[in-house]
């Protein structure tokens, strides 16, 4: 009788204990990403002092654009404005690039002319009225024109704008000291 009780007690213990671990499946499927002890970082909004790499004088702090908020800064060509300015008297060619509510106009004067002040004001007013830019920067500096023309060619060719943007910012700050 003692052996019968001992047998039943052992059987009951053995049947209950393995029941806890029999149905443990791997709950991750093949497409799931397992948490391997890494910390989740959230997309935090940084202050201008914290985000010194992308926050320059030329970058809008809100960085809003057509698709939504917090997009990377972009260089946008305005070919229509370039063509209109190029068709003006005393202008051989022009390149218009927009960045976050600012418009940069690089003008190549025709036949070694320099733009008269009234022509400069006319171009600035037309650009501000047309594309709601807060600030329009206009220059006829040959070096700035040459670099901006190469940026235009690179953008048309479909090259990534990230590196071009940083170079453009440095060039613009050098050409327009009021941006610093």
11-20 tens-digit pLDDT: 777 777 666 5
- Is 11 in a helix, a strand, or coil? helix
137-146 tens-digit pLDDT: 888 888 899 9
DSSP lists the bridge partners of residue 94 as 107
Q: Is residue 25 part of a domain?
A: no
Q: Is residue 56 part of a domain?
A: no
Calpha distance 46→61 (Å, rounded): 10
Q: Please compute the mean of the pLDDT values over residues 36-48 and round it to a whole number.
A: 47
Q: Is residue 63 part of a domain?
A: no
Q: Is residue 45 part of a domain?
A: no
Enclosing domain of residue 103: 76-179
* Residue 68 pLDDT > 50: no
Q: Is residue 48 part of a domain?
A: no
Question: Which helix or strand (DSSP H or E) is residue 123 part of?
Answer: helix 117-131
Q: What percent of the chain has pLDDT over 90?
A: 2
Q: Is residue 61 part of a domain?
A: no
The reported pTM is 0.55
95: domain CATH number is 3.30.300
Q: Are 105 and 96 in contact (CB under 8 A)?
A: yes
What's the total number of domains in the chain? 1
Q: Is residue 65 part of a domain?
A: no
Q: Is residue 146 part of a domain?
A: yes
Place of tokens 């006829």: 140
Q: For 63, phi and psi rounded to 5 degrees?
A: 50, 45
């Amino acid at each position: 009788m003692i052996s019968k009780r001992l047998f039943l007690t052992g059987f009951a213990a053995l049947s209950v204990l393995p029941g806890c671990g029999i149905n443990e499946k791997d709950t991750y499927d093949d497409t799931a990403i397992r948490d391997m002890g890494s910390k989740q970082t959230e997309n935090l909004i940084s202050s201008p002092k914290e985000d010194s790499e992308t926050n320059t004088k030329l970058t809008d702090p809100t960085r809003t654009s057509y698709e939504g908020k917090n997009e990377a800064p972009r260089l946008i060509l305005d070919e229509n404005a370039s063509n209109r300015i190029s068709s003006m008297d005393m202008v051989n060619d022009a390149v218009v690039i927009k960045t976050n509510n600012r418009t940069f106009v690089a003008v190549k004067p025709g036949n070694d002319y320099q733009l008269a002040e009234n022509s400069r004001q006319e171009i600035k007013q037309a650009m501000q009225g047309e594309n709601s830019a807060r600030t329009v920067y206009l220059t006829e500096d040959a070096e700035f024109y040459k670099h901006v023309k190469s940026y235009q060619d690179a953008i048309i060719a479909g090259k990534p704008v990230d590196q071009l943007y940083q170079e453009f910012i440095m060039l613009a700050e050098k050409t327009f000291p009021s941006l610093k």
